[in-house]
Chains A and B, each alone.
Chain A
Amino acid sequence: MASVSKKTSEKDYLCKGLTTCEGCGMELIARKMLQILGPNTIILTPPSCSAILTGISRETGWRVPAFMSNLESVGAYASGIRVGLEVLGRNDIHVVGFAGDGGTVDIGLQALSGAIERGHRFIYVCYDNEAYMNTGIQRSGATTLGAWTTTTPGGKTNQRKDVARMLLAQGIPYLATASVGYINDFANKINKAKSVDGPSYIHVHTPCSTGWRFPAERTIEVARMAVQTGMWVLYEAEEGKVRITRKIRSFKPVEEYLRLQKRFSGITEQVLQELKDYIREGYEFLQEREEKSGK
């Protein structure tokens, strides 16, 4: 937990005592994000675990204005809010979409990509717990190959869809990946997104003890292991120029990451090999992009 910021002077804009599960990575990210963005923020959450923060009936966890959007249209709502604020001359407000991986890489991809194409200024944070958790652990496009979910009872048969890479190809002023295990790295990236005059996208790996089947106190450990094994790479891209923000000189064996979670208990040798290939290809791709960006 060494890298978790101890700066208690930062004001919280998310209440305590929320009904997320014990050890929820998503909640930590939301809290940190708002500490940096501050009160002049409008937040959008689609149906997902993040909706727990937006509340129920008369209660909300946010101390900033929040709107519960539809699952597929965070990007479109963000566009409308931004343009509405602009016509009314209110340019000092952050518009933030805070959505899960399912709401981002599957059903919400079209609206997100559209909003990015339009160049509207908003920050989109995808917290990736690698499944539809709020509906009870079903597969999403972001679920890792081989992982058990209730709709992939024999393990997922496809590689994960890398939407950060898709958006890198689309073109976006600021894009980053992050992890709840490296909170200062995440904070730096939110800080950068804050001053971007256009869309920014941050895709954060947020392990979920409930859905991944590991003890709640190990969220940060699992998150860090994902980065150290190369299953999750921390990088950013400013105007398409890639920089790996946490370079890994020698990866730990991916088995060390998989072993921490029951969702991978049924994994086969073949899947293991495919995961290793995936890790290598992913890192090489980023290294190449980084090299080219440097020139």
Chain B
Amino acid sequence: MIRKAMDGNMAAAEGARLARVQVVAAYPITPQTPIVEHLASLIAKGRLAARYINVESEHSALCAVIGASLVGARVFTATASAGLALMHEVTGVAAGCRLPIVMPIVNRALPSPWSLWCDHSDSMGERDQGWIQFYAENSQEVLDLVILAYRLAEDKRILLPVNICLDGFFLSHTTEAVLVPEQGEVDAFLPPYCGQNLILDPQEPLAVNVLTGPEIFTEIKYQQKQAMDRVFPVMEEIGLEFARRFGRFYPPFSAEFCEDAEVILVTMGTMSGVARYVVKGLREQGKRVGLLKLRVFRPFPGKEISRVLRKAKAVAVIDRSAGLGSLGPLSLEIKGALYTSGLDEAPMVRSYIAGLGGRDITEETIGQVIEDTFGTLGNPRDEYASKWIDLRKEEC
């Protein structure tokens, strides 16, 4: 293992290189572009034995990797924002055909208005398409998760595509020290891909993805659901092996200072680093506040999360997407998890919207969320609303 300085994009590309992907098809979009440039360069220099398909759109990028995956190649693509929205039609095809595609999403707000900067509205739009979704906090996690993702996606019990969501610029363009495993170590963990499920092969002709009637459509969807249900146990098994080999373990979420917390903050992505810093500071002042950082959003670890959260008096969820017409999507998931946990009294769940279109989630923002939530303790409110905590009211 060697220590190298790299940003999130480079980590994603290096993860793909170490996973020995065989076909890459991608279309450039800020802030994802460096990933595909780096891979194109690795392939051109012969440092990665793969083929790069220069497609003419993101829709075609995903179709091309679906095609290559359908004949048994290990494939990679990456996108963001409008590119992901363009792919939407075929993200469902990738999942429905049970193809182990790994695709980082470098989170960027969806238009309109146009923004180059981070929020989670793009990946949230894909949340029910049948992909596993990881949210990474740092470059190390990005690199490790790409490797883990292939192992998980290709496991016969799973066969689902995986998104690794990384915050645009905050993570994609921020350089940090990363431990890069040796190729041999990765090879030992991730054997070559051998497609065995839906394979287009004249030796054994199959018609794949055909028009499907109501008598069997539900069952095919149910099989996808069953695979989703198997993700956590399989991920633990694979994750433990990864930890044995590489010394890093990636559970679906991590709970810090939650044991005796009155208020638990729930975060995803890079905001978690700031949140951790603020929570630690408040703990030192004796405030009973905890942090639950979610790493896997799909499948949603509702049961396990509710076990942690139920002990708190209130839960503050920060969503980095607007959830227009409802509450922040993560807060809805948390509410759902707590409501079905069978508790007589569930903690109050507060929905906060922050960090849209690249706005910084600062110590101050996090501090306000926590303070606001503490303010509601013993003061229950009859409301169903999100609080836009970092709003510049003078502009509205």
Contact = CB atoms under 8 A, between A and B. Distances in A.
Chain B associates with chain A: yes
B216 to A, nearest CB: 5
B59 interface: yes
B282 interface: no
A80 B67 contact: yes
B247 interface: no
A76 B200 CA distance: 16
B312 interface: no
Interface stretch (B49-57, B298-306, B325-333): B49-57
A114 interface: yes
**A55, A80, A85, A90 pick with most chain B CB within 10 angstroms:** A80
A283 interface: no
Contact of A79 (B50, B67, B75): B67
B208 A84 contact: no
Interface in A51-91: 51, 54-58, 60, 62-70, 72-73, 75-88, 90
B241 interface: no
B67 A87 contact: no
B364 interface: no
Q: Which of A54, A60, A76 has the most CB of B within 10 A?
A: A76
Nearest to B208: A67
B2 to A, nearest CB: 28
Q: Chain B contact residues: over half helix, strand or loop, or mixed? A: mixed
Interface string A86-114: 11101001000000000000000011011
Given A56-B211, A65-B208, A80-B64, A90 B71 contact: yes
B23 A55 contact: no
B73 A84 contact: yes
B73 A76 contact: no
Q: On chain B, which size bracket covers the interface?
A: 35 or more
Contacts of A62: 205, 207
A40 interface: yes
Nearest to B73: A84
B26 to A, nearest CB: 12
A93 B68 CA distance: 14
A245 interface: no
Contacts of B89: 70
Nearest to A111: B60
Nearest to A79: B64
Given A83-B23, A87-B22, A67 B209 contact: yes
Nearest to A120: B53
A259 interface: no
Contacts of A68: 207-211
A73 B59 contact: yes
Contacts of B184: none
Given A41-B202, A64-B205, A113 B56 contact: yes
Contact of A110 (B23, B57, B70, B202): B57
Contacts of B67: 67, 76-84
Nearest to A74: B63
A42 interface: yes
Contacts of A56: 210-213
Contacts of B71: 42, 81, 84-85, 88, 90
Contacts of A58: 216
A79 B53 contact: yes
A70 B23 contact: no
A69 B63 contact: yes
A118 interface: yes
By CB atoms of chain B within 10 A, which of A57, A64, A83 has the most?
A83
B34 interface: no
A282 interface: no
A279 B23 CA distance: 45
A171 interface: no
A80 B25 contact: yes
Nearest to B211: A56
B77 to A, nearest CB: 10
Contacts of A51: 210-211
A222 to B, nearest CB: 28
Contact of B213 (A57, A90, A93, A111): A57
Interface string B133-148: 0000000000000000
A117 B75 CA distance: 21
Given A60-B207, A73-B90, A65 B60 contact: no
Interface in B37-65: 50-51, 53-57, 59-61, 63-65
Contact of B59 (A76, A78, A82): A76
A84 B23 contact: yes
A66 B73 contact: no
A215 interface: no
A110 B68 contact: no
B206 interface: yes
Contacts of A75: 60
A40 B71 CA distance: 13
A39 interface: yes
B215 A111 contact: no
A204 to B, nearest CB: 22
A20 to B, nearest CB: 14
Interface string B191-207: 00000000011101111
A90 B200 CA distance: 12
B208 A80 contact: no
16 contacts: A41-B202, A57-B215, A64-B202, A65-B202, A66-B210, A70-B89, A79-B53, A80-B25, A81-B70, A81-B200, A83-B73, A84-B70, A84-B73, A88-B72, A111-B63, A114-B55
Given A69-B63, A80-B65, A84-B69, 6 more contacts: A40-B202, A57-B216, A67-B208, A76-B60, A87-B23, A114-B56
